[in-house]
Amino acid sequence: MSDVSSVYLVGAGPGDPDLLTVKAQRLLMIADVVVYDRLVSSAILDLIPPGKARIFVGKAPHNHHMPQEEINDLLVSLAKSNHTVIRLKGGDPFIFGRGSEEALYLSRHDVPFEVVPGVTAASAIGSALGVPLTHRGLSTSVRFVTGHCRADAELVLDWDGLADPDTTIVFYMGLANLPQLSKKLIAAGLPADTPAAASTKATGPDQRQCVSTIERLPALCVKLEFKAPVLVIIGQVVSLAEHLNWQGLVYEDAVLDGEEEHSASA
């Protein structure tokens, strides 16, 4: 028997255990050790059979339970101790999940690995909100963009390229920089009344969401006290939410500063 076991980089999806792939669920049954992230829901962790070792390595802004370098070393150490390792990551491992960094590290240390894709947040949340990421006549493309940089550095993005009215923009981890995202896109030419939506704790029992415009959305998320992680969808496709709201979700709203005066003078 080889003294090196495989590491399975598994996408756990957005949180709803019903959106976990059949393969991911099967692998959870055979794992010796599950190394999991902060964004893996408790409902999915409950699927892990009793007696399986669990190691939490979650990271939050300014609070890394375990630095990435230590996570990489841990995966190699467990595999070379002949443990079957599931590296369980929220969403999809290869979409803003640092799964490719871990895979490269495993490869360099001669540890066999397999990547099991998961339902990424953009697809799951768009579907949940009734917002198709593309729609004939409204959006011909979609772009996934990170909404934050390391060490809180200013976002350097192709704002002119992003401000395309025929493109749907999905910002992952966009809450902290949402005011900047809004201002930069409007300055680059995206109309201020472009429809925009935000969702937090998506696909879970305490999911919350709001639908507004790119100009209004940052203040609305503050007023509604949305907490990270928040996914933001911007584009004309968001205008379909009220028509495709198949779950009957409540789209939250709030009166923002200045709106009372505007309303009174109208």
In angstroms, the Cα distances linking 32 to 53, 71, 87, 89 are 6, 17, 11, 16
Active site residue 183: no
The two tokens of residue 110 are: 């001669």
Q: Over the Cα atoms of the chain, what is R_g?
A: 20
Q: Which of 16, 37, 89, 184 is catalytic?
A: 37
Query: What phi and psi values does residue 263 have, to the nearest 5 degrees?
Result: -65, -40
Active site residue 80: no
Cα angle, residue 124 at apex, residues 42 and 9 outer, rounded to 5°? 60
Q: Which of 23, 52, 59, 183 is catalytic?
A: 59
Question: DSSP letters along 40-105, please?
Answer: S-HHHHTTSPTT-EEEE--EETTEESS-HHHHHHHHHHHHHTT--EEEEESB-TTSSS-HHHHHHH
Cα angle, residue 70 at apex, residues 153 and 112 outer, rounded to 5°? 110
Chain-centroid distance of CA 154 in Å reads: 20
Chain-centroid distance of CA 63 in Å reads: 18
Active site residues: 37, 59
